[in-house]
Chains A and B, each alone.
Chain A
């Protein structure tokens, strides 16, 4: 058993991987660092304190007094030069210029600024005696799964499956080719299928650790849970890993140098990093692009992971994205086998 070529090839793959500290970092460390950094940067503070400025001129103190009682606003009084700079750099969301009429100067494309405008106007109007026409009551809830980090973690998982799937295969295959090791294997009775399968098997071993590390970290640090079943997450990640293994083989099937394969990898991965909704929703792209974006394997994988992790969907409902992921994997693998340069 231990001396079966598939076992030995898989062991060789695994050893070459875990004896390479850089590879360990990129597969395990990097996504966690990224999750940590982005999770901290975009943690949900609520709308929090909005910084606004009042221009230093007649009437400023009355305005500051009126705004001072409004919750969630921090008010500073600034000279016109300083105010212009702070507004331009986004350090204050809105500038109030006292006078008749009162002027609000802000960038209407910024969400924070528009929010500040509503809050400031409300406070100013109330101070001048406006009363509420209808009595309202606030009922505050925090939905789990609605935070940015909840959106981000499945995306990072998908991106990592793509990265390690492609690099893991592509780099090793091309390195073996440039070192003439592939040709040396061809001089033995080794079966080609064993060689290719060893990549898949070694990948599955590390996949478990890779997913556990990221999901575990997200749960421990940010309390990101999995609403659906862990079995469904496992199934999707395995499918995704295999699919990207296939894509990796395709990318590595002809390349003769590490430089060439690196270029190809980036060519394949870069569009998906941007388009596939890893860091922000792909709904932001124009409608004409949507069919293309949705057909990408990473988009489908991210959608499926989010559906299970955030919405708790069962696998049955994820037929379309899973079919896309499978199709990419199978097609790439078949083409790769056909054009593979075995020496």
Chain B
């Protein structure tokens, strides 16, 4: 059964087409990621699905219900947990008071103690929201989303701007919700987050989904599992054709500061690359290899980096 189903979704802001005919189906029990650069239309999409922004065209079905207003909308709201991208909760309320307030809006809900335990904020229950760290505030925002015991959890860039430790703590929270059988739709522009949390990932660009699969399958679609990056201190760079002809190289992406090669076998490609540069008399200023990531998938699909796209 699908938890989320939408077809032909369109949203326009003036001249800007924020969502351009989007189609999506999220299965109950999975963690689904919308991955894309800023401005790709992720937030607009998730807010349409959350029933907060009316689409210009298209059909949305959440848990088998529609945003028709009135009783159906209220019934649907009871079953969702939502964290918005930049909500600032009231600074002068304590953590406990904030959770209690959100809890009061729902018919069935976790107790305050339960939800604070879920996000590990028990020792901060008496603290004012304004005094919390960024990571704690974000966990409180997720607590307010979890308090309703939702079947479906929407998270819009839950870890943006957090330090690595806070990010991992939030991943644990999301992981526990998922392990309990919940469905999650999250947006992110961190590939690492998508790879770590999501069963399936849709890569978005310019309001459209340009690729959709499991993170492993998306990376496998590159046809190679490794990326070799190099830059030259001096000397002329070999042409793209020359590089593409090296053994094991599947794709070449030249960029002003470095050239990236997608390769199947590092142990064959790297010696061949070094030999080529040796013949040219070019000296390296950088040579690095890493496992291919969703970032590489995005770059291959769009020719742009995620972070500066």
In the complex, chain A residues whose CB is within 8 Å of the CB of B93? 12, 15-16
B171 within 8 A of A: no
Q: List 26 A-B contacts (CB under 8 A).
A: A3-B103, A5-B104, A8-B100, A9-B104, A11-B97, A12-B90, A12-B93, A15-B92, A16-B93, A19-B92, A180-B84, A180-B88, A181-B87, A181-B88, A181-B89, A183-B84, A183-B87, A184-B87, A184-B89, A187-B51, A187-B84, A188-B82, A188-B106, A189-B78, A189-B105, A189-B106
CA distance A186 to B47 in the complex (A): 11
CA distance A339 to B51 in the complex (A): 20
B52 within 8 A of A: yes
The one of A12, A179, A189 in contact with B101, judged by C-beta atoms closer than 8 angstroms, is: A12
- Whether the pair B89, A187 counts as a contact (CB closer than 8 A) is no
B104 CB, min distance to chain A CBs, angstroms: 4
A20 within 8 A of B: yes
- Please classify the interface of chain A as helix (H, G, I), strand (E, B), loop, or mixed, using the class held by over half of its residues: helix
B-to-A contact residues, CB < 8 Å? 50-52, 74, 77-78, 80, 82, 84, 86-90, 92-93, 97, 100-107, 144, 148
In the complex, chain A residues whose CB is within 8 Å of the CB of B102? 188
| Of listed B52, B88, B104, B148, residue having the most chain A CB within 10 A | B104
In the complex, chain B residues whose CB is within 8 Å of the CB of A185? 105
In the complex, chain A residues whose CB is within 8 Å of the CB of B144? 184
A341 within 8 A of B: no
In the complex, chain A residues whose CB is within 8 Å of the CB of B86? 180
A-to-B contact residues, CB < 8 Å? 3-5, 7-9, 11-12, 15-16, 19-20, 179-181, 183-190, 343
Given contact pairs A15-B93, A20-B92, A183 touches B52 in the complex (Cβ within 8 A): yes
In the complex, chain B residues whose CB is within 8 Å of the CB of A11? 97, 101
In the complex, chain A residues whose CB is within 8 Å of the CB of B105? 5, 185, 188-190
In the complex, chain A residues whose CB is within 8 Å of the CB of B107? 189
B30 CB, min distance to chain A CBs, angstroms: 22
B292 CB, min distance to chain A CBs, angstroms: 37
The one of B74, B92, B101 in contact with A8, judged by C-beta atoms closer than 8 angstroms, is: B101
CA distance A8 to B80 in the complex (A): 20
In the complex, chain A residues whose CB is within 8 Å of the CB of B82? 184, 187-188
A-B contact count (CB 8 A): 69
In the complex, chain A residues whose CB is within 8 Å of the CB of B77? 187-189
Closest to A194 in B: B105
In the complex, chain A residues whose CB is within 8 Å of the CB of B103? 3, 8
In the complex, chain A residues whose CB is within 8 Å of the CB of B50? 187
- Whether the pair A9, B87 counts as a contact (CB closer than 8 A) is no
- Whether the pair A186, B52 counts as a contact (CB closer than 8 A) is yes
| Of listed A12, A183, A185, A187, residue having the most chain B CB within 10 A | A187
Given contact pairs A11-B97, A15-B93, A3 touches B52 in the complex (Cβ within 8 A): no
CA distance A180 to B141 in the complex (A): 12
- Whether the pair A180, B87 counts as a contact (CB closer than 8 A) is yes
The one of A4, A15, A184, A189 in contact with B97, judged by C-beta atoms closer than 8 angstroms, is: A15
- Whether the pair A343, B101 counts as a contact (CB closer than 8 A) is no
Closest to B79 in A: A189
CA distance A188 to B98 in the complex (A): 14
Closest to B53 in A: A343
B109 CB, min distance to chain A CBs, angstroms: 9
Question: 3 tightest A-B contacts by CB?
Answer: A179-B88, A8-B104, A189-B77
A176 CB, min distance to chain B CBs, angstroms: 8
- Whether the pair A9, B84 counts as a contact (CB closer than 8 A) is no
- Whether the pair A16, B92 counts as a contact (CB closer than 8 A) is yes
CA distance A11 to B104 in the complex (A): 12
In the complex, chain A residues whose CB is within 8 Å of the CB of B84? 180, 183-184, 187
The one of B78, B88, B89, B104 in contact with A4, judged by C-beta atoms closer than 8 angstroms, is: B104
Closest to A4 in B: B104
B135 CB, min distance to chain A CBs, angstroms: 19
CA distance A4 to B103 in the complex (A): 9
CA distance A280 to B106 in the complex (A): 52
CA distance A184 to B52 in the complex (A): 9
In the complex, chain B residues whose CB is within 8 Å of the CB of A3? 100, 103-104
| Of listed B77, B101, B102, residue having the most chain A CB within 10 A | B101
In the complex, chain A residues whose CB is within 8 Å of the CB of B88? 179-181
| Of listed B50, B84, B144, B148, residue having the most chain A CB within 10 A | B84
Closest to A13 in B: B90
In the complex, chain B residues whose CB is within 8 Å of the CB of A15? 92-93, 97
Closest to B94 in A: A15
CA distance A183 to B86 in the complex (A): 10
